[in-house]
Amino acid sequence: MSSATSTRPTPDETAEAAEKLDLLRQTLNRVLFGQDPLIENVIIGLLSRGHLLLEGLPGLGKTELVKGLARALQLDAKRIQFTPDLLPADVTGSPILKETPEGRRFVFHRGPIFANLVLADEINRASPKTQSALLEAMQEGRVTVMGETHTLLRPFFVLATQNPIELEGTYPLPEAQLDRFLFKLDIYRNEIPVLEEIIKHREIGEEPEVEAVFDRETLVRFATLTRRVYLPDVVANFIARLVDATHPGRSRTAETIKFGASPRAALALATGAKARALIQGRGHASFEDIRNLAAPVLGHRILLDYRAKLDGKTGATIVAELLQEIPAQDKALPSTLKPTEVHG
Amino acid sequence: MKSEPPRETWCRMARRLARRMNVGFWLADFLPLFFAAGLVQAFLLIWLRKNQLPTSPAWWVFAALLLAAGSVAWFRKRKRFFSQQDALVFLETRLGLNNGLTAADTGVAGWPKPVALPARIVPRWSWKRIGPWPAWTLAIMAVAAWLPVDPVTSSPSARPVEPIAWSGIESRIETLEETDILEPASLEDFRQRVEELRRRAPRDWYSHSSLEATDSLEERTERAIRDLRDNLETTARALAEAEAFPEGLPWGREAALREELREALAGFEEGLLQLDPEFLAQLSELDPQSLPSMSQEELDALRECLADGLAACEASLGDGEDVLLARVPGTGGIGEGPAPAPLSFRADPATGEVSRLESVSNDDLSRAALGDRIGVGETDDDDEKRAPYRGPARAGTIATPGDGGEAVPRETFTPDEQAVLERYFR
C-alpha cells in the first residue's frame, strides 16, 4: 500500500479542502447559474484526475464553465472545436521546419492539447482517427510525434462535449472510448428563475469576472488528498456488487443490458466517491457518495439492448433501477423482522 | 451522573440490534424445525398413550429434538448473523450518517453524537410470520396430550392361535397326572413333544409337517391311553373274576385268566405310558392261584388303584372327545378330514354341520385382528322340510313316476306336443 493511501487525511486537511472546494463551487456558480450538480461533478472529476463528457444543447455555458474553472484555479485552458476535417496533428501539434542558428531543424509545435484544461467541443464531429488521438493522449498523459514523446501538462483535464441533436455526419464515440471518461454528464436546459438570473447578470460578449480561488499546486494537493480518503470495506463491497449487477444475468435489472460496466468503472466510482467525500469535508466515502455518482459513472458504460431502447430507457434510468435493486448493505434482514426505512 | 461516551452508546445500540437480528435469523430457521419436532412429539405421545406406556419419553424426545433443531438453525444461519460492525452499518444507513459509524469504528473519524433511535428504523418482530409456528405446534401438542385415545388392548389374535390338538393332548396328560399309578417320566415325554411343536415359529404351526406331527402325536397319545385303559380293564376283570371264586376257578378258566394277566402285564411293560414301578411289580406278582392268599386290605388297595387308573384313562379320553367335537368338519390334517364333509343337508349335529355362518373381514387391515366378529347371519338348515331331489336311477328311465298322466308331458314331450295333448284332453 502506498503512503498516499495508508495515511488517512486529518480532520484539518479535510476541513481545509472542503472550505476551499466550497469556495470554488460558489465561484463557478456565479459563472454557471443553476447547475449545482454539474459543477460539483466537475470538481469531483478534477479531484479524481478524470475527464468528463458533457452532453447538452449549445449555449448552455460549457465554454464559460471551462474558462471560469481555468481562471479560478489559475490553469491554462484551451478549446478545440472538433470538425470532420480536424486532423490528429491539429490536436496534438506537429513538427515544423524552423531556421535556427544551428541550421534548419524540425521543432515540435505544441497543439491545443498542451493545456491544463482542454475543452473538446463536439468531439463526435471529428473523425475516429482524431478522436482516437485525443483519447489516447487523455489516457497516456503524453503524445508521441515522429518518434518523440511529449508529456502533457499536469494537471490535465479534458472536458469533451457532444451534441445530442444533429447527429448526421457525426462519429459516435465507441464504447471502449466512452469508458475513458470518468463521468458523462447531461446538461439540462435552465429553469425560468435561472434564466431570469442569467438575463439580469449577464451581457452577451462579456465574460463574468472570476477571482482565483486557489492555485495549481493546491489542486494537485487536493487530488492527492482525495486518494487518501478512506473507503470503508462495506462501501467497496457495494461498488463491487453494483458494478457486477450491470452485467447480464447478474441482476433483474440487467436483463435488458447487453454489456455491463468494466472494472475501470468500479475504480472511477471509488475515486469519485472519495472526491465527493472530500468536498463534503469527510475523510471517508459513503454509500450516499456511490448513489450520487452511480449514474454519471455507470450510465455511459452500459450498453442497452433493443428492449430497453424500445421501452425508452437510458443508462441513467437503468442505473436508478439498479440502485433500487441492489441494497447498500450486503446483509438482508431476517424474515422474522419487519423491514425498516432506509435513509434517502 | 457521568454521560456515556458516544462510542459506548453506539456500540451498545449496535450490539442490541445485532442480537435482535441474530435471534431473528435463528428463529427463521428454528421455527419450522420446532413445528416438526412438535409434530414428532405429538405422534409419539399419542402412540405412547395408545399403548398405555409412560409419556415422559415423548417429552425427552421433544427436548432432544429442540436442542438439535436449535443447533441446526444456528449452524445454518451463523454466516448471516450480524456482527457489531454490521449493526453499525445498518444504523448509519438508516440514520443517514454517511458511513460515519463505520469510519469512527475504524478510527478514521470521530464518533457522531448519539441519537435516540427512531421507531421506524428499529426492526420489529413480524408476529404474522413468527406466531403461527408456535401456535400450531402447541395446539398439536395439546391435542396429542389431551385427545381421548382408545388404548390398544393386547388381542389374543395378535399371536396365532396354536393348534387345538396341543391343548387337547396336554389336557389328557394333566388328567393322567392325577393318578399315582403312572410313571411321571412317561407322561413328561408326551408333554415335551408338545412343547417341541410349540417351540417352532408360530408361522410354522400350521405347516404341513407340523400338522402331520400333531396328528401323529395325538393318535399316539390316544392309542397309549386306550392301551393302558384296556390293560387296566383286563387286569381289573381278572381280579374280580378271581375274587368271585374264592374256592378256586373252574378248570381251564384259571389258565385263561393267567394268560390274560400275562398279556396285560406285557402291555403295561411295553406301553408308552409306563406304570409306577412299584405298582407294576405288584401287578406282576398277581396270579389267580395266589389271590386267595392276599389279604382283604391288599386286594382293596389293588382294586382301588386299578379303578383310579381306569377313571383317569376314561377322563383323559373324555378330554380327547371334547377336542374332537371342537373340530370343524373337513378342517383336519392336510388332505384328509377327520370328520364327514360339510354341507350334507341334514340336521344332524353329529356331522358338525354349521348352522350359523359367520364371516370375518376388516377394511382397515392395520387394526384387524383375527377372530374379530363383524356380523352374524342365520341360515335355514331344516332341509327335511323340502323334498329331496332324486335323479334318474338308470339311463333311459324317468326320474319320477309322476302323478298319473302328468308324468308323460312333464318328462318326455316337447312343449309343442304338450300343448297339443293339453288341448286334446281338455
Convert the pLDDT of each residue in A313-341 to its tens digit: 888 899 999 999 999 988 888 888 888 77
d(CA B102, CA A232): 7
Q: Are A105 and A98 in contact (CB under 8 A)?
A: yes
For residue B417, the 8-state DSSP code is H
pLDDT tops 80 at residue B423: yes
Q: Which of A147, A149, A160 is CA-nearest to residue A42?
A: A160
User: What pLDDT sits at residue B346?
Assistant: 46
Number of C-alpha atoms within 13 angstroms, CB side, residue B301? Answer: 10
pLDDT at B353 over 60: no
Nearest to A337 among B106, B120, B125 (CB): B125
The alpha-carbon gap from A218 to the nearest alpha carbon of chain B, in Å, equals 23
Residue of chain A whose alpha carbon sits nearest to that of B31: A336
Residue A296 lies in a domain: yes
Of A232, A335, A344, Cβ closest to residue B103: A232
Average pLDDT in the B244-256 region? 74
Query: What would the grid cell of residue A250 be?
Result: 447478474
The fraction of chain A above a pLDDT of 70, given in percent, is 97
The C-alpha atoms of residue A337 and residue B117 are separated, in whole angstroms, by 17
Do A299 and A268 have their domain in common?
A: yes
Residue with cell 387345538: B164
Question: Of A50-54, A91-95, B110-114, B279-283, which range is least confident?
Answer: B279-283
Note whether residue A237 is domain-resident.
yes
Closest CA to B168 of B228, B214, B223, B230: B214
The reply to whether A203 falls in a domain is: no
Residue type at B304?
A: E
pLDDT of residue B51: 86
Pull the grid cell for residue A75: 490553469
SS3 at position B311: helix
Q: For position B401, what pLDDT does the model report?
A: 55
pLDDT of residue A139: 85
Question: Which residues in A lie closer than 8 A to residue B102 (C-beta atoms)?
Answer: 232, 234, 284
Amino acid symbol at A233: D
According to the model, what pLDDT value does residue A23 have?
93
CATH number at residue A223: 1.10.8.80
Peptide bond into B114 cis (omega under 30): no
**What pLDDT is recorded for position B363?**
63
**Would you say residue B333 has pLDDT above 60?**
no
Facing B99 at nearest CB: one of A287, A332, A335: A287
Determine the distance in angstroms separating the CA of B56 from the nearest CA of chain A, rounded to an integer: 32
Type of residue found at A29: N
* Together in a domain, A64 and A169: yes
HSE, CB side, 13 Å, CA atoms: give it for residue A307.
7
Q: How confident is the model at residue B361 (pLDDT cuts 50, 70, 90)?
A: low
- Verify that A71 and A27 share a domain, yes or no: no
Question: Shortest CB distance from B103 goes to which of A284, A339, A342?
Answer: A284
CATH number assigned to the domain comprising residue A78: 3.40.50.300
Q: Do A232 and B95 touch (CB under 8 A)?
A: no
Chain B contact present for A338, CB below 8 A = yes
Interface membership of A235 toward B (CB under 8 Å): yes
CA distance A74 to chain B (A): 33
Cell of B170: 396336554
Q: Is the pLDDT of residue B94 over 60?
A: yes
Whole-number pLDDT of residue B350? 46
Residue with the bigger pLDDT between B15 and B262: it is: B15
* The pLDDT of residue A344: 58
CB contact B129 to A (< 8 Å): yes
Could you tell me if residue A239 is inside a domain? yes
* Residue B396 pLDDT class (50, 70, 90 cuts): low
Residue listed under C-alpha cell 470495506: A233
Provide, as residue numbers in chain B, all residues whose Cβ is less than 8 Å from the Cβ of A282: 98, 100, 103, 109
Taking residue A277's Cβ as centre, other Cβ atoms within 10 Å add up to 28
Whether residue A264 lies inside any domain: the answer is yes
Domain boundary among A181, A204, A239: A181
Indicate whether A285 belongs to any domain. Answer: yes
For residue A82, what are the domain limits?
51-181
Of B24, B93, B106, nearest to A329 by CB-CB distance is B93
Q: What is the percentage of chain B residues whose pLDDT exceeds 90?
A: 20
Give me the pLDDT at residue A221, please: 93
A147 and A228 share a domain? no
Looking at the complex, does the CB of residue B282 fall below 8 Å from at least one CB of chain A? Answer: no
Distance of alpha carbon B93 from alpha carbon A287, whole angstroms: 8
Nearest CA in chain A to B121: A340
* CA separation for the pair B403, B32 (Å, rounded): 89
For chain A, helix, strand, coil in percent to 5 are 45, 15, 35
Do the chains contact at B130 and A336, CB–CB below 8 Å?
yes
Residues B140, B39 contacting (CB under 8 angstroms): yes
A263 domain-assigned: yes
Residues of A in contact with B126 (CB under 8 A): 335-338
Q: What is the reported pLDDT for A22?
A: 94
Nearest to A187 by CA among A162, A206, A157: A162
Instruction: State the nearest Cα–Cα gap between B151 and chain A, in angstroms.
Output: 41
* Mean pLDDT, chain A, integer: 88
- In total, the C-beta contacts within 8 angstroms joining chain A to chain B are 101
* Residue B102 at interface with chain A, using a CB cutoff of 8 Å: yes
The predicted-structure confidence for A13-23, as pLDDT tens digits, reads as follows 999 999 999 99
Confidence of residue B272 (pLDDT cuts 50, 70, 90): confident
> What is the rounded average pLDDT for all residues in chain B?
78
Q: How confident is the model at residue A4 (pLDDT cuts 50, 70, 90)?
A: very low
CA A222 to chain centre: 16
Cβ of B99 within 8 Å of Cβ of A232? The answer is: yes
Q: How far is A216 from chain B (nearest CA, A)?
A: 28
For the beta carbon of residue B189, count every other beta carbon within 10 angstroms: 14
Residue A10 phi, psi dihedral angles, 5° rounding:
-80, 160
User: E-assigned strands of A138-197?
Assistant: 142-145, 148-151, 157-162, 183-187
B273-to-A143, A336, B33, B165, B307 alpha-carbon distances in Å: 131, 85, 70, 19, 17
Claim to verify: residue A85 and residue A150 sit in the same structural domain: yes
Read off the pLDDT of each residue in B153-177 and give the average, rounded to a whole number: 78
Decide which of A158, A181, A204 is a domain's last residue: A181
- Sorted by sequence, the CB contacts under 8 Å of residue B329 that are 6+ apart come out as B337, B339, B340, B341, B342, B351, B352, B353
Res B426 pLDDT > 90: no
Model confidence at A112, in pLDDT bands (50, 70, 90)?
Answer: very high
More confident: A195 or A335: A335
The backbone torsions φ and ψ at residue A221, rounded to the nearest 5 degrees and listed phi first, read -65, -40
Residue B374: pLDDT over 90: no
**Residues A29 and A56 placed together within one structural domain of the fold:** no
Using pLDDT thresholds of 50, 70 and 90, give the confidence band for residue B178.
confident
How close, in Å, is residue A124 to chain B by CA atoms?
Answer: 38
- Cell numbers of A330, please? 450486503
CB B280 within 8 A of CB B268: yes
Q: Is A256 among the domain residues?
A: yes
Structurally, chain A folds into a number of domains equal to 2
CA distance B72 to B77: 9
